[in-house]
Amino acid sequence: MAAGLIEATATATPLASRTRRRLGLLAAVGVLVVVVALSLTLGTRATSIDTVFAALFDPVAGNTDHSVVRDLRVPRTVIGLVVGSALAVAGTIMQGITRNPLADPGLLGVNAGASLFVVVAITFFGVTSPAGYVWFAFAGAAVAAAIVYLVGSLARGGSTPVTLALAGTAMTAGITSIITLLLITDIDTLSNYRFWSVGSLVNRDLDAAVSLLPFLLAGGVLAATIGSTLNVLSLGDDLAKGLGQGVGVSRAIAAAAIVLLCGTATALAGPIVFVGLVIPHLVRPFTGPDYRWILVYSAVLGPVLVLAADTLGRLLAYPGEIEAGLLVALLGAPVLIVIVRRSRMAGL
């Protein structure tokens, strides 16, 4: 019944609106292609697009430009695509199930859980490389989000947007205290952790991304199936139940998608903030309130933000570079202020 209502609403959508959405999506894909090309060509050693194609399809052994493209820029571009898409889609789902316009991957304790497990890996297991952090970060994100969902479900009335947000906030606060305690007692841990915690695409292993690909695909499949569900949940729990929607099951599926997507992204690049918060708000003027379209647009434009920040960071601090996570935060903070003012939620 709920799905039927959504389909009826979609059918009633004016043709001009649907055409605008499709054209907007094509434009978004075009922007993504341009940003990918810039990511592969720009940096401390600029290369032409012809050199990039040669490096990809007809590499010459010993050619420095080809090595730069294949060994450095391709891995960070691929990881930027994965991370940006995963964070933006996860942020969209979070805002849908919590009905909170300020929800992002930190809301359910995902970033905090990943960070804690990375600190534990460094402190107690001697892990020092980003490739070694991956599985610890993924496990931490999954465990934290599972605990938050369980705690939220135990509250009277079950897992409501308020209980999930409160449980996530409490989890993040507690974990942050533990992380701080571990860091201030071990300088070596602090030194290694700080490079991961700023969020970066540098020195990330493409093999690690491949190993986590099944989790990313599983999260993507779940996300693709819950667009209509998010539309129903956005109407409120009572109305959703009245339409026959299993609210608890729907939130569990959404939470699983969030864990898989955020866990993968955070494990690969560190806790990059604001992508999951900003992108859904930027696409809504083009998509309207339909979460099926918001999810698709977010999957395309999330990588645009991450890769643009990463590429810009290489140019601003030449011959060094600024980490992508820092630039995303710098760009996202003003957007957050605008969102708060527009939503009249400054008192939250």
Q: How far is CA 301 from CA 132, 177, 253, 294, in A?
A: 29, 34, 24, 10
**Domain assignment of residue 191, yes or no:** yes
- Greater confidence (204 vs 25) lies with 25
Which pLDDT tens digit goes with each residue over 202-254?
A: 878 788 888 888 999 999 999 999 998 898 888 777 777 777 777 778 888 99
What pTM does this model have? 0.87
Model confidence pLDDT, tens digit, residues 269-302: 888 888 998 899 889 988 988 999 999 999 999 9
Q: What is the CATH number of the domain that holds 310?
A: 1.10.3470.10
Nearest-angstrom CA–CA distance, 96 and 161: 9
Tell me which amino acid residue 282 is: L
104: which 2 tokens? 């992002």
Q: Is residue 348 part of a domain?
A: no
Is residue 338 in a domain?
yes
Domain tally for the chain?
1
Question: Could you report the per-residue pLDDT of 103-130, keeping only the tens digit for each?
Answer: 777 777 888 998 999 999 999 998 877 7
CA distances from 346 to 117, 170, 178, 266 (A): 33, 20, 29, 28
In a domain, 72, yes or no: yes
175-206, pLDDT tens digit by residue? Answer: 999 999 999 988 888 888 887 888 888 878 78
Q: What does each C-alpha distance from 138 to 141, 145, 189, 265, 344 come to in angstroms?
A: 5, 11, 19, 9, 35
Please, which residues have CB within 8 angstroms of residue 61's CB and are 6 or more apart in sequence? none
Of the candidates 2, 268, 282, 301, the one whose C-alpha atom is nearest the C-alpha of residue 141 is 268
- Indicate whether 114 belongs to any domain: yes
- Over residues 12-21, the mean pLDDT reads 72
In a domain, 48, yes or no: yes
- In angstroms, the first-to-last Cα distance of the chain is 35
- Would you say residue 32 lies in a domain? yes
Q: How many CA atoms lie within 13 A of 216 on its CB side?
A: 21
CB atoms within 10 A of CB 230: 24
Burial 152-185 (b: 16+ CB within 10 A, else e): bbeeeeebbbebbbebbeebbeebeeebeebbee
Tokens 């107690």, residue located: 124
User: If we measure between CA atoms, which residue out of 300, 79, 319, 81 comes closest to residue 201?
Assistant: 79
The range of the structural domain enclosing residue 134 comes to 2-10+19-343
